[in-house]
Chains A and B, each alone.
Chain A
Amino acid sequence: MVVAAASSERARPVSNNPVRGTTLTIREVSHRFDLEGQPLPVLDRISLRIGRGEFVALLGPSGCGKSTLLRLVAGLNNPSAGSVLVEGQEIEGPDPSRVVVFQDPTLYPWRTVRSNVALGLEARGQLRTHRERVEDALRLVGLTGFANAYRTSFRAACRSARLWRAHWSTTRSC
């Protein structure tokens, strides 16, 4: 499963419009990877417009480029051609407002469940001021008892911790 959550960390809150979120425009995007010197085309002139608050699912067979498109939206790669716009602004790189919950098990094995959940806050230097949100998240998913466990000793915690790590990046206040 690949999920991209687009939300409004940057967007101005619009008082007369109850729908939160942002707009995403993918315009004529092509992308190719460099495979041992040979170009491997993956995306060919993809265009897509996602409005505020819309929920979009990408479906397709394995290897058709869903994850590649998401990596471009996340800002992890730059498209070979075309542009990806958020609120009409071309994206320049990864940003906490566009988070990916990755497919592979990607919890850091050297961190406990708690500090994996805290990763996003720590990366943005907000851990000191928002520490309680980590404990809230652990309590919400019932992982308080496993907060000091490592990935190697507790597999089931992985998925939830990963989801919550992403969650803290997309919600502004809670």
Chain B
Amino acid sequence: MSSVVDEVSSGPKPALGFLASPAARSLIGGLTAAAAWLAVAVFIAYWPDRPESDWAYTDDLAVLCGALAIALALAALAGVWFAGLQSLRQLGPWLVALALFLVAWETVTAKLGLLPLPFFPPPQAILEVVIDDRARLGACIFASFRLLATGYFLGAAVGFVTGVAIGWSRLANYWIHPVLRFIGPLPATAWLPLAFFIFPSSFSASIFLIALATGFPVTVLTWSGVAGVNSSYYDIARTLGARQRFLVLKVAIPAAMPHVFVGLFMGLGTSFAVLVVAEMLGVKAGLGWYLQWAQGWAAYANMYAALLIMALLCSGLITLLFRLRDRLLSWQKGLVRW
């Protein structure tokens, strides 16, 4: 809307009018970010590393930054014609800040060597790990993901069904609730020693632990959701001729879904923690194991690389769950702000 106003008011001076339009502002923001990353590339390539260091991937890092700069410039130019890309404008300040951070990091490590090695490797060392060790890292990502996905879905499914059962049935509530009260607050990691000798493999033991960590919050919140359903919702359905099955599937469960999602978010958070602990202690693959292994060899660059990948994966999964929630609970729009 503001662009219309701008065009009208800037009739006599069309050049200034364009500069004030959102398209122009997004172009300027995008080009600023591109220029910042180009500067980073030049900085990395033309200031030589400390003489006694032998970082093999300094030039590759510079090329990568340069490629990012070109991509940003292209996106900024494309944004003039495609309004969809203009929403990237809000990333601009962050992109510039990241460029500054990379320059600072590069300066105190590879260029001046102010921070002690091997604890603080330069960015190109992490790039080196990601490129040279990609086979092992890929296998670890796959192993972690398989473990997490299996345990999480199992725990979430069992937790959901249990939660509905104790929310709905007095008998189930009588028998399961005390067990839940007694065992639920116990951290899943406390089961580690027991799980590793009860289960035939460390893989199944880890799945059990992750499922346990996920299941508890999902159960409790599903239960509270089902138990908290406005009783007049049931009255309506009953007067309209609904049977028990309809009441559970079409009234209790949809009404409880917002609570269920809180449980799913909490479960996902704790499942990450249990995944890493289980991998560090028992499983011989996965990112948690890689972290432990890298630390054992004092390969700190590998450790940072694994941490970085882990952060990306975990935040990616949380984002995915948010997307799913927004899709399934679109009726809540305007009611929920988290």
Contact = CB atoms under 8 A, between A and B. Distances in A.
Interface of A: 71, 74-76, 93-96, 98-100, 102, 104, 106, 108-111, 119-120, 122-124, 150-153, 165, 169
B240 A165 contact: yes
Contact of A152 (B236, B246, B255, B334): B334
B254 A74 contact: no
Contacts of B257: 110
A152 B241 contact: no
B239 interface: yes
Given A99-B240, A152-B331, 4 more contacts: A104-B232, A106-B233, A120-B241, A152-B334
A138 to B, nearest CB: 17
Nearest to A116: B236
A119 B230 CA distance: 17
Contacts of B331: 109-111, 150-152
Nearest to B231: A76
Interface of B: 230, 232-233, 235-243, 246, 250-251, 254-255, 257, 329-335
Contacts of B246: 122-123
A124 B240 contact: yes
A90 to B, nearest CB: 18
A75 B257 CA distance: 29
B113 to A, nearest CB: 59
Given A108-B251, A110-B255, A100 B237 contact: no
Given A124-B240, A169-B240, A169-B241, A102 B335 contact: no
A3 to B, nearest CB: 12
Contacts of A76: 235, 238-239
B324 to A, nearest CB: 15
B290 to A, nearest CB: 43
Nearest to A121: B240
B232 to A, nearest CB: 5
A111 B236 CA distance: 14
23 contacts: A93-B238, A94-B235, A94-B239, A98-B239, A100-B239, A102-B232, A102-B235, A104-B232, A109-B331, A110-B254, A110-B255, A110-B257, A110-B329, A119-B236, A119-B240, A120-B240, A120-B241, A123-B240, A124-B241, A152-B331, A153-B333, A165-B236, A169-B239
Most buried by A among B232, B235, B238, B241: B241
B240 A106 contact: no
A12 B211 CA distance: 57
Given A76-B235, A102-B235, A153-B334, A108 B240 contact: no
A54 B241 CA distance: 24
Contact of A96 (B232, B233, B239, B332): B239
A108 B233 CA distance: 7
A123 B235 contact: no
Contacts of B237: 119, 123
B241 A95 contact: yes
Contacts of B241: 94-96, 120, 123-124, 169
B337 to A, nearest CB: 13
A131 to B, nearest CB: 16
A169 B330 CA distance: 29
Contacts of B235: 71, 74, 76, 94, 100, 102, 106
Contacts of A152: 331-335
Nearest to A126: B241
A94 B329 CA distance: 30
B250 A102 contact: no
A109 B335 CA distance: 11
B236 A102 contact: yes
Contact of B250 (A74, A106, A122, A153): A122
Nearest to B253: A110
A32 B230 CA distance: 22
Nearest 6 pairs of A and B residues by beta carbon: A123-B242, A96-B241, A120-B240, A94-B238, A150-B331, A124-B241
Contacts of A123: 237, 240-243, 246, 250
Contacts of B254: 108, 110-111
